[in-house]
């Protein structure tokens, strides 16, 4: 450990919800995306699950909204260092989509891709079991375009670059394929509790 002369940091209380190396962003919700925010109307939004599945399927906005609603309330964590607590997203559990598509037994990973072309890879185990959502409301209101509206992937137990904005689909695979940031040096999985920020961490 290397002490920085004169650095005390913010007044702090031990926060068991804060992963190592993170700070509490409070009410602030920074926007971080590398591409131009798309003008994507709900009527033009679709979500597809294909690849190693029994039934490849595309849902449009109305079809997706007919699935059972599901909410997430808790924290989100960005690799750049901020965490945000008490966020509330509403949408549909990813399990509802995968139950229809039925991944093959050989399936191990997925690549999430956005309507902008952004991609992120995830182990299938991180997308199932009630731990991932397609979210279209934040705090009871439609998700803002700059935060991924009309709909984004939400995988809150991993760093937030995995929660692809403007989600367009999941390609189910039997191997891992690095996505956009993963090819740019970020970690394959991105677990905030293990500080998996960059490849090699």
Partner 1 sequence: MTETFVPPTRLAVPGRIAVSEQAASEWQSATITGIRRETPRVTTFRLAVPDWPGHLPGQHLMVRLTAEDGYAAQRHYSIASAPDDSGQIELTLDHVEGGEVSGWFHTVARPGDRVEVRGPVSGFFAWPGDRPALLIGAGSGVVPLMSMVRHHRARNLTVPLRLVVSARSPEELVYARELGAETTAVFTRSAPEGVKVGRMAAAHMVPLLAEQPPGGWEAYVCGSNSFAEHASRLLVTAGQPVDRIRIERFG
**Using rule CB under 8 A, residue 163 touches partner 1:** no
Q: How far is the C-alpha of 125 from the C-alpha of 8, rounded, in Å?
A: 40
Question: Are the beta carbons of 69 and 188 closer than 8 angstroms?
Answer: no
Looking at the Cβ atoms of 71 and 145, the one nearer to partner 1 is: 145
Candidate list 34, 43, 54, 125; residue touching partner 1; CB under 8 A: 34
Find the shortest distance in angstroms from Cβ 72 to partner 1: 21
Find the shortest distance in angstroms from Cβ 2 to partner 1: 6
**Using rule CB under 8 A, residue 32 touches partner 1:** yes
**Using rule CB under 8 A, residue 171 touches partner 1:** yes
Q: How far is the C-alpha of 136 from the C-alpha of 152, rounded, in Å?
A: 7
Looking at the Cβ atoms of 88 and 175, the one nearer to partner 1 is: 175
Find the shortest distance in angstroms from Cβ 193 to partner 1: 16
Question: Are the beta carbons of 71 and 89 closer than 8 angstroms?
Answer: yes
Assign 3-class secondary structure to 7-37: CCCCCCCCCCCCCCCCEECCCCCCCCCCCCC
Give the Å distances, CA to CA, from 185 to 31, 81, 160, 200. Answer: 20, 16, 15, 9
Give the Å distances, CA to CA, from 17 to 14, 21, 130, 132. Answer: 9, 12, 20, 19
Cβ of 12: how many Cβ atoms within 10 Å?
Answer: 10
Candidate list 72, 118, 136, 160; residue touching partner 1; CB under 8 A: 118
Which residue stretch of 57-65, 93-101, 127-135, 166-174 sits at the interface with partner 1 (rule: CB under 8 A)? 166-174
Candidate list 59, 82, 138, 159; residue touching partner 1; CB under 8 A: 82
Residue with tokens 């037994």: 105
**Using rule CB under 8 A, residue 37 touches partner 1:** yes
Q: Which residues bind partner 1 (CB under 8 A)?
A: 1-10, 12, 21, 23, 28, 30-38, 51-52, 78, 80-82, 104, 106, 111, 113, 116-119, 146, 168, 171, 173-175, 177, 179-181, 183-186, 198-201
């Amino acid at each position: 450990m290397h002490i920085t002369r004169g650095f005390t940091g913010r007044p702090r209380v031990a926060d068991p919800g804060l992963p190592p190396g993170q700070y509490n962003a409070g009410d602030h919700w920074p926007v971080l995306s590398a591409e131009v925010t798309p003008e994507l109307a709900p009527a033009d939004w679709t979500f597809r699950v294909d690849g190693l599945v029994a039934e490849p399927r595309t849902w449009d906005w109305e079809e997706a909204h007919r699935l059972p609603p599901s909410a997430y309330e808790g924290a989100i964590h960005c690799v750049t260092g901020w965490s945000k607590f008490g966020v509330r997203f509403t949408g549909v559990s990813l399990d509802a989509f995968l139950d229809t598509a039925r991944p093959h037994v050989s399936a191990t990973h997925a690549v999430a891709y956005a309507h902008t072309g952004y991609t992120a890879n995830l182990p299938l185990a991180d997308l199932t079991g009630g731990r991932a959502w397609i979210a279209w409301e934040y705090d009871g209101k439609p998700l803002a375009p700059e935060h991924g509206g009309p709909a984004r992937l939400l995988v809150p137990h991993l760093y937030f670059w995995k929660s692809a904005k403007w989600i367009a689909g999941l390609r189910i695979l039997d191997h891992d394929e690095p996505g956009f940031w993963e090819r740019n040096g970020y970690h394959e999985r991105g677990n905030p509790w293990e500080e998996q920020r960059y490849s090699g961490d």
